[in-house]
Chains A and B, each alone.
Chain A
Amino acid sequence: MVEAMKRSVFWSWFWMFIGTLYFILPLISTFLFSLRAKKDVLSFLAYERIFADVNFWRTFGFSLMVGFFTILGSILLVVPTAYWIRLRLPKLRGMIEFLTMLPFVIPAIVLVFGLIRVFSGAPFFLTNTYTGTNVLLVAAYVVLALPYMFRSVDAGLGAIDVRSLTEAAQSLGASWPTILFKVIFPNLRVAILGGAFLTLATVIGEFTMASFLVGIKAFGPYMSLIGQNKTYEASSLTIISFLLTWSFMGLIQLFNRGKSDSALAGAH
């Protein structure tokens, strides 16, 4: 019995080690490669060049801004929709869930061609101006982020008794905006943050839509350009974007842990 348990523990660790190697080895290789920008010496020269590049900060700042507006748009679109479906139209939930999954099925290239075609002529001339194109990019990203945001918010709504909370607030005299902003939104904090960070991670690295709509202004096309022209900088950029993405994931974990810790404190 004890022998069997020891064997089971050994194999658990073995497979975990193999799995870790599978994920870590390419990263370590990329990282080591990124340190060889200076001949025969390991250095952070590639990183210094990237951080010294004005375009890095400009494109990163632009994508961050687009990410912010995408998150804002997604929250304003998804939270009231998901809330209303849970509250009044539960039968439509399956259909809406399917619709929000479409960005996974339809290739981004198809989406972006469709957008350019529709919004380049009458009555919408969005692609004729910078602002219009930026608005179109944000709108496209809102669609792209739908699966992440909807699933996250829907799961959050599933964790609270939406109907009773709404009715309790109504019976206390609250109007719909009060219910949404004082009762529903605060209780979806973690779910919204989860969806928001996933959205941001997606927007920061997105290439297809950005390159067709705004070109080199966005971070995705910038990364691609660097990858084509500067070998070591491309590796360092890979590591930087990886760290950025994982930082966002870490933030989600941090917020979730805060929530679960407080829930545990109440479980007595």
Chain B
Amino acid sequence: MSYLSISNVSKVFGGVVAVEDFNLEVEKGEFISFLGPSGCGKTTTLRMIAGFELPTSGEVVLDGENITYKAPNERNVGMVFQSYALFPNMTVAQNIGFGLQVRKTPADEIQTMVKEMLGLIHLEKHAEKYPYQLSGGQQQRVALARALAINPRVLLLDEPLSALDAKIRVELRQEIRRIQQKMGITTIYVTHDQEEALSLSDRIVVMSQGHMEQVGTPAEIYNRPTTEFVASFVGQLNLLPVSEVDLKNGVCKLNGQLVRFDHSEPRQISDKPRLAIRPEEFQFGQTEGRNLIQGRVEVVMFLGAVVRLRVRIGEVLVSVDLFNERNMTLPRVGDEVMVNFPPHACWIM
């Protein structure tokens, strides 16, 4: 049996289903992200693991112990909140030591642990400061140290970086991963930021409207999305209407032109089949063995490392991302272009 097991968990709030039939097995030391838009049930699921919400049905088993109906203060689960939730009346050191003090740990042990945690988050010089004297990033580090100081069985992070600016966010997420790997602590991380989830996680659970859409490694989620929701939520995706789909041989027609696609995985297609392809799979020009489509450039956006184009192919506008090169000649609006893409990079939905 795995370290953390969430089985058939559902949560209904006054007739509204927030989470439905959630099943997940988490191994010890694993970093799992719950990814999805607002209201998809990711935070509710996390709160059920923490004990702040009781499941309507199902059970949560941690390290062989059924904790479904256990009080939050008896679970030994560390939690980091989006709003930091540091105690304003306590110094940094007192905040970090609070959990140990509650457990009646001897004072010298608390002191040692606080010192160790301060070293871990590189805030040794701020021990006697109050939360309002720290920046947002520093406050969140203290919140992380406070949650880790009690040596929790699982660390839960509820959108911990959402309130921080972009640069601090990137720094702190690397910090979180470093600390998690160093301590080998099982971690559940809730986020709506796909980049965060992809860069941090061992596995990602993509959620939508209370359902689990897909569970997999970041590469699986991005490269092999199993549902249209996952494909469009994680990264950008072009969905181009196609006709005369031959699933057996992997061919269809796009704007009257024959296109080959990946048919290695069995898939169900809808009444209105569409060809799915990510913008970065396109290239300009003609290359042997790749699908070739003619289009007209309608929008050119220079984004630095990437040049994002909108190319009209028949009735639809397609997003095309080209990696910038120093000597690259940018296409102009109105240019007729030939775009190509490999058959293995597109699939039918």
Contact = CB atoms under 8 A, between A and B. Distances in A.
A230 B99 CA distance: 62
A159 to B, nearest CB: 10
A171 B150 CA distance: 10
Interface in A210-268: 262-263, 265-267
B79 interface: yes
Contacts, number: 75
Contacts of A183: 87, 89
Given A161-B83, A183-B87, A171 B102 contact: no
A175 B85 CA distance: 17
Contact of B102 (A173, A186, A267): A173
Interface string B75-94: 11111010101111100000
Contact of B73 (A164, A173, A182): A173
A170 B52 contact: yes
A182 B216 CA distance: 42
B137 interface: no
Interface residues of B, number: 31
A167 interface: yes
B50 interface: yes
A171 B73 contact: yes
Nearest to A172: B99
A167 B52 CA distance: 7
A165 interface: yes
Contact of B72 (A161, A171, A262): A171
A165 B103 contact: no
A265 B133 CA distance: 7
Interface in A139-176: 160-161, 164-165, 167-175
Given A172-B99, A172-B102, A167 B89 contact: no
A97 to B, nearest CB: 24
Interface in B177-218: none
Interface string B92-104: 0000001100110
Contacts of B22: none
A167 B130 contact: no
A168 B81 CA distance: 8
A186 B77 contact: no
Nearest to A174: B102
B132 A262 contact: yes
A160 B89 CA distance: 11
A263 to B, nearest CB: 6
B147 interface: yes
B146 interface: yes
Contacts of B89: 183, 186-187, 189
Given A161-B83, A161-B85, A164-B85, A169 B133 contact: no
A91 to B, nearest CB: 12
B133 A266 contact: yes
A185 to B, nearest CB: 9
A43 interface: no
A262 B129 CA distance: 12
A120 interface: no
A172 to B, nearest CB: 4
A265 B79 CA distance: 29
Contacts of A165: 85, 87
A221 to B, nearest CB: 41
A147 to B, nearest CB: 26
A172 B98 contact: yes
A173 B85 contact: no
Contacts of A263: 132
A189 to B, nearest CB: 8
Nearest first, the 6 A-B pairs at minimum CB distance are A266-B132, A172-B99, A164-B85, A168-B85, A171-B79, A186-B89
27 contacts: A164-B81, A164-B85, A165-B85, A167-B52, A167-B72, A167-B79, A168-B85, A168-B143, A168-B146, A169-B87, A170-B52, A171-B77, A171-B78, A172-B73, A172-B78, A172-B98, A172-B99, A172-B147, A173-B73, A173-B99, A174-B73, A174-B102, A175-B73, A187-B87, A262-B132, A265-B132, A267-B132
